[in-house]
Chains A and B, each alone.
Chain A
Amino acid sequence: MKIHEYQAKQIFRNAGVPVLRGQVARTPDEAAQAFRDLGGPLAVVKAQIHAGGRGKGTVKEHPSQRGVQLVRAADEAAQVARNLLGNCLVTIQTGPEGQTVRQVFVEEGCDIARELYLGIVLDRAAARPVLMVSNEGGVEIEKVAAETPELIYREHFDTHAGLQSYQVRKLCTRLGIQGAEARSAERFMKSLCRLFVAYDCSLAEINPLVITRAGEMIALDAKLTFDDNALFRHPELKELRDLSEEEPAEVRAANAGLSYVKLDGNIGCLVNGAGLAMSTMDLIKLHGGEPANFLDVGGGANTEQVTEAFRILLGDPNVKAVLVNIFGGIARCTTIANALVEASRQVGFNVPLVVRLEGTEVDEGRRILAESDVAIISAESLTDAAQKVVATLK
């Protein structure tokens, strides 16, 4: 689960990770008021969307407006907010369609001495989290990682003991940080690593991380992603979820216990199992088609879930044909066949439907389909299924 920068900063503040003062604004007036409340000579107005790259992103409706802007007066803060709010911000991470800005964060300014990068992710190969820092702050860290990986310094840390002082010293030495700055860095990094574990984060990223002229390390940006599987033990985080930032069909699928990802093609896929679902997409592409989605109905799918899956699939106006690929293990072919018949009754198929059934209760499943009045193109194998569904579009 992703959250907004201003929400992440509240968590940072509570955990003792230094951030600047700021206020959320949902109207230009609120932005102006926030500027006055902060009381400084300048402030920064930042669009709040779940995608990164906001500083370089542009607003569709106001091409000269960036997603992050320095302002020096209350009315200027209001004007920037007006340009952003309700409009569409396009960044390298949003794709060309962009993302609607529904709130801005107005934050006080600070005297920046240097900009750094800091990230914490789970290192799967090491099976523990890794803290990464670099002097190459403020730029695309992916580029640094690809071109000059030696400029990113890494320390794995124990999730129970936390980041150790010597590890901070190693990092500070490499970064060229010393004295009061190093002491500030130690508090900062240790608190952040503790927070990462305590909140079951899968990603914490601060770009830029700054050191002020006063020698304090501060998170100028804040990005947190949480492990969905651990949300059950963080009820307070669930309230931070912003459904307007998510694809409605994906939210709907998740509520039905389905795993769905919308894609750009026109062949809807309904499959059991994540690996088989991905492979089915690959196979469609291999035979010249374009998958409209990833959809895994899971192992224990019942009739209601599968019917809902068909509703979601057919609710996508781009879908011109549907491929059902089931290798029954736990999921039985009969369940899928009955759901197909039921979905046809409730939703009605107005596009060609190719079905490939294999595995548990396959003969019975095929019989149910054959005896129903649902128009089905049945396929014998994976390749046959992919070829047939692509052919329906030619």
Chain B
Amino acid sequence: MSILVNKDTRVICQGITGKAGAFHTKGCLEYGTQMVGGVTPGRRGEKVEGLPVFDTVEQAVAETGANASMIFVPAAFTADAILEALDAGIELIAAITEGVPVMDMVYVYDKIKRSQATLIGPNCPGVITPGECKIGIMPGYIHQPGCVGVMSRSGTLTYEAVWQTTNLGLGQSTCVGLGGDPIVGTSFIDLLRRFEADPLTKAILMIGEIGGTAEEEAAAWVAQHVTKPVAAFIAGRTAPPGKRMGHAGAIISGGKGTAEEKIAALEAAGIEVAQSPAEMGQAVQRAMQRKGVK
């Protein structure tokens, strides 16, 4: 078991004929993901990495039985691509694209929440169940099948955390990059619920950053509903207010969204907080020891 994706997940790439789409389709294939096709309007009949290209997601689903999509279309067209995947009945949509207008996501988010589908991202590295299925841009080799469920608002910082848990021999059940934007399809709480229910996941690592209140909400949920050990790290302790730190979502505004507030909320919920990004893996170990989980 794992969450969201596994060896049976059948994946298409929307935007497969683009440079990034083609490159990462190849990467996912090499990792062992069941990539089954791609979509680029007007390019039906072509092949990319040996995979068939379709004009619409509807066609792709009908002919390949795909149930997941990885989106690499340009930001201006990402909302449309997500809605197309949703309309075609895709269950897991991972939007990797960076720079999607927030107002587009207000509309998309509303549609997604009224459906059975799960949207990861946008502006995210994707999702991976080590050894089974990689959908996204993360380097596969740093991962190792194991017991830590990793969820994060940041890309490369997730790699850092994954590398640490791999080196400690813990490995990962599933790793999900939520995305760095103000509105993303999946929240920490959505994933906490799944990780808590997943038998393979023994501990959860949450990597947050300044801006918004997602970490505080997650902390409150952990205190009430999560029995598994949880560790966390918050990036941006030294970030000045009012400055957007790369991610559109990483901004302290009106005195809210500071790292201190978030860390206090996490600690109050009994979560083991890593003080340094170099010890995220150790924080997971400490959380496991505290709860007597091996």
Residues of A that sit less than 8 Å from B by CB = 93, 121-122, 124-125, 127-129, 142, 145-146, 159-160, 197, 200, 202, 227-230, 232-233, 259, 261, 263, 271-286, 291, 294, 296, 299-300, 327-330, 358-360, 381-383
Contact = CB atoms under 8 A, between A and B. Distances in A.
10 contacts: A124-B213, A127-B106, A232-B75, A273-B155, A274-B247, A276-B157, A291-B238, A327-B160, A329-B125, A359-B142
A275 B180 contact: yes
A248 B242 CA distance: 17
Given A124-B183, A278-B209, A229 B107 contact: no
A122 B182 contact: yes
A368 to B, nearest CB: 19
Nearest to B181: A229
Given A142-B255, A274-B247, A291-B238, A279 B142 contact: no
B115 interface: no
A259 B246 CA distance: 6
Given A263-B240, A285-B238, A145 B254 contact: yes
B102 interface: yes
Contact of B276 (A200, A281, A283): A283
Contact of B102 (A142, A200, A277, A282): A200
Contacts of A276: 154-157, 159-160, 235, 277
B101 A200 contact: yes
Contact of A229 (B100, B159, B212): B100
B170 interface: no
Contacts of A382: 160, 276-278
Contacts of B255: 142, 145-146
Interface string B141-158: 010000000001111111
A-B pairs with lowest CB-CB distance, top 8: A275-B154, A274-B246, A273-B156, A275-B157, A230-B101, A279-B277, A382-B278, A276-B156
Main secondary structure of the interface of A (DSSP, over half): mixed
B271 interface: no
Contacts of B106: 122, 127-129, 159
B276 A383 contact: yes
A281 B249 contact: no
Interface size class of B (residues with CB under 8 A): 35 or more
Contacts of A129: 106
B154 A273 contact: yes
B278 A381 contact: yes
A300 B20 CA distance: 9
Contacts of B159: 273, 276, 327, 329, 359
Contacts of B152: 275
B155 A286 contact: no
A202 B253 CA distance: 12
Interface in B260-276: 275-276
Interface in B194-244: 207, 209-210, 212-214, 217, 233, 235-240, 242-244
A227 B158 CA distance: 26
Given A282-B277, A382-B276, A229 B156 contact: no
B278 A274 contact: no
B278 A330 contact: no
